[in-house]
Amino acid sequence: MGRISISCLFPASWHFSLPSQVLPRLLVPSLRQLLFIGLVLCLIGLLYLLLVAGKGHASWIRKENHFHRHLARVTDIDATDTSNPNLNYGLVVDCGSSGSRVFVYCWPRHNGNPHELLDIQQMRDQHRKPVVMKIKPGISDLAKTPEKASDYIYPLLSFAAQHIPKNKHQETPLYILCTAGMRILPESQQEALLEDLRTDIPVHFNFLFSDSHVEVISGKQEGVYAWIGINFVLGRFNHVHNDGEAVVEVNVPGGDQQEALVRKRTAGVLDMGGVSTQIAYEVPKTEEVAKNLLAEFNLGCDAHRTEHVYRVYVSTFLGFGGNAARQRYQESLVRNTATRNKLLGSTYWRDSRVPPPGSLSAHRPAG
């Protein structure tokens, strides 16, 4: 039986020999050996992917948990204790282009800490559901019958009045804010609708309400309110930051501090309504922004403290809301289809021996 000898002098002197019958089996592995080797390689690759992806997943989990902690401010809230005499209430009616909603808010007395904002929350009924109601269509649909504006909004205010303790009505502010659906109306029609609300609401309800509490807000105001609402719910105005949260250094407008203030990074907002779209995000003091696109405001309870002063870029696009865009798209389809059919029809009937529609009756035999 022949043998094959293999020797090596480096790094050490060694040699061995193999029978000639064994060599073919080593050089040509069996199917079972190939499957085993493939399985081992797959397991090694899978282990590597798990180790690499695990780090990213852990980071994602931390961010997800952080998000849900703030989301709990909205979802995991007990029913509002209306027997608490220290609770204050407020009403906001959002008159949009496709409908109107009333939101009821409540908050305890401020704790006196100038670093903290009011703890405003949406009121919850006995089933822990948000106290909110919507009606359709939008108030702008009453442009030709403005005398019906107060009747239109009565169900919303009646609903809210049932949830707020009666002894609190007189000190509960009511704001009625109309958005893009009203902005596209002529000013005379806007004023007629608002005047009917100013006149009739105080007759039926005892809320804290004045003429200035009902208005058609600008697109800039609408963008600012959306930006404040989103960042308030996300807890971005709470300057006590935790590890892992994004922070930013800002030079607060009007601030006297020599060092930049470190606070949580705020979120930008793209708010698409029915008729308009707003974009809003915070900008640093060093960034130049046109005054008509900039809003500066202090959310704090002390006008002399500037840690809650924000500079926000706001841009609004009237006519680019979801409903308005869809309507333009549908009108474009109809217009293009009508034009195409007209062109195709005139070409077809010019080249065809069949008489065009409408002329068939002229060639139809009588009887």
- For 3-58, write each residue's pLDDT tens digit: 444 444 444 444 445 455 544 554 455 667 777 787 878 888 888 777 766 655 55
Judge if 192 and 314 occupy the same domain: no
Q: Which of 310, 299, 291 is nearest to 250 (CA)?
A: 310
Judge if 88 and 176 occupy the same domain: yes
Judge if 115 and 130 occupy the same domain: yes
Judge if 328 and 316 occupy the same domain: no
User: With contact defined as beta carbons under 8 Å apart, do 103 and 163 qualify?
Assistant: no
Phi, psi of 311 (to 5 degrees): -110, 120
Assess whether the previous peptide bond of 137 is cis (omega < 30° from 0). yes
Q: Which residues participate in catalysis according to the annotation?
A: 222
> Which of 76, 95, 114 is where one domain is finished?
76
Between helix 31-75 and helix 219-233 the angle, nearest 10°, is 110
68-92: burial string, b at 16+ Cβ within 10 Å, e else? eeeeeeeeeeeebebeeeebbbbbb
pLDDT of 250 reads 75
Per-residue pLDDT tens for 167-192? 999 999 999 999 999 999 999 999 99
Token pair of 55 as six digits: 């780090």
pLDDT grade for 120, boundaries at 50, 70 and 90:
very high
pLDDT of 362 reads 43
What is the count of structural domains for the chain? 4
Judge if 112 and 157 occupy the same domain: yes
- Inside any domain, residue 303: yes
pTM above 0.75, yes or no: no
Judge if 46 and 174 occupy the same domain: no
Higher per-residue confidence, 59 vs 42: 42
- Inside any domain, residue 223: no
Judge if 340 and 308 occupy the same domain: no
Environment class of residue 188 by beta-carbon count within 10 Å: exposed (0-12), middle (13-18) or buried (19+)? Answer: exposed
- Per DSSP, the residues of 83-118 read T-TT-EEEEEEEE-SS-EEEEEEEEPPP-S-TTS--
Token pair of 200 as six digits: 């009739």
Decide: helix, strand or coil at residue 321.
coil
pLDDT of 173 reads 98
Q: Which of 168, 153, 162 is nearest to 203 (CA)?
A: 153
> Which of 36, 60, 76 is where one domain is finished?
76
Q: How far apart are CA 310 and CA 296, in angstroms?
A: 6
User: Side chain identity at 84, as an amino acid letter?
Assistant: N
Q: Which of 183, 197, 185, 215 is nearest to 146 (CA)?
A: 197
Domain that holds residue 359: 322-363
Environment class of residue 58 by beta-carbon count within 10 Å: exposed (0-12), middle (13-18) or buried (19+)? Answer: exposed
pLDDT of 14 reads 46
Per-residue pLDDT tens for 257-269? 556 778 889 999 9
Judge if 245 and 353 occupy the same domain: no
User: Side chain identity at 271, as an amino acid letter?
Assistant: D
Judge if 186 and 236 occupy the same domain: no
Cα angle at 221 between 299 and 267, to 5 degrees?
60
Q: Which of 184, 128, 133 is nearest to 154 (CA)?
A: 133
- Inside any domain, residue 14: no
Query: How does strand 174-178 pair with strand 88-95?
Result: parallel
Judge if 147 and 207 occupy the same domain: yes
